[in-house]
């Protein structure tokens, strides 16, 4: 009976997750689709957060993942594709992958943008052949409360991360154990 309940819960999460996922969100998107989605996501983020817009003007580069799908039940994972922008132009494509194990359940779709503020942060992204958060430059995850008190004169970190467009139900949200790799498009 216990396994029946576990299987029922897993099927429920898969059903809910399929309602959140659009055809292009988890599959490999074309360069044109990524370009369109990155531009749209960045515009929406800037409209919602003046701090993100101010950071965008000062950042050396911005790595945007407009649509990441994350799901799990005990064992979980996430996947998304995005692009690196310098001077408002796309200079490379990346994917983000995460696998996890532990107390977790649910399905979620969201996006995030990493504002690379220093040359060393940008160099880390460019010279790494796949990198994990926590092994490179320091990252500050900016929430709505903190974003309101940020000014461009108080910036001290290499990278600032903004999450946006969160939908679905999933326990926990973070960047630990996430691997980002450059891809060809």
pLDDT at 12 over 50: no
d(CA 179, CA 167): 22
Question: How confident is the model at residue 144, as a pLDDT?
Answer: 47
Question: How confident is the model at residue 69, as a pLDDT?
Answer: 92
The whole-model pTM stands at 0.73
The mean predicted confidence, pLDDT, of the chain is: 76
């Amino acid at each position: 009976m216990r396994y029946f309940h576990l299987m029922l819960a897993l099927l429920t999460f898969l059903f809910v997750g399929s309602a959140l996922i659009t055809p292009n969100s988890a599959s490999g998107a074309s360069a044109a689709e990524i370009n369109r989605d990155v531009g749209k996501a960045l515009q929406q983020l800037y409209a919602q957060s003046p701090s993100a817009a101010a950071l965008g003007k000062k950042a050396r580069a911005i790595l945007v993942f407009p649509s990441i799908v994350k799901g799990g039940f005990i064992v979980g994972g996430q996947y998304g594709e995005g692009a690196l922008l310098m001077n408002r132009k796309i200079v490379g494509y990346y994917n983000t992958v995460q696998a996890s194990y532990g107390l977790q359940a649910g399905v979620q779709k969201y996006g995030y943008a990493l504002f690379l503020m220093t040359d060393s942060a940008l160099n880390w992204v460019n010279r790494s052949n796949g990198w994990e958060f926590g092994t490179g430059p320091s990252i500050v995850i900016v929430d709505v409360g903190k974003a309101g008190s940020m000014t461009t004169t108080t910036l001290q970190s290499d990278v600032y991360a903004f999450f946006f467009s969160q939908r679905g139900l999933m326990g926990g949200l973070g960047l630990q154990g996430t691997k980002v790799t450059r891809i060809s498009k």
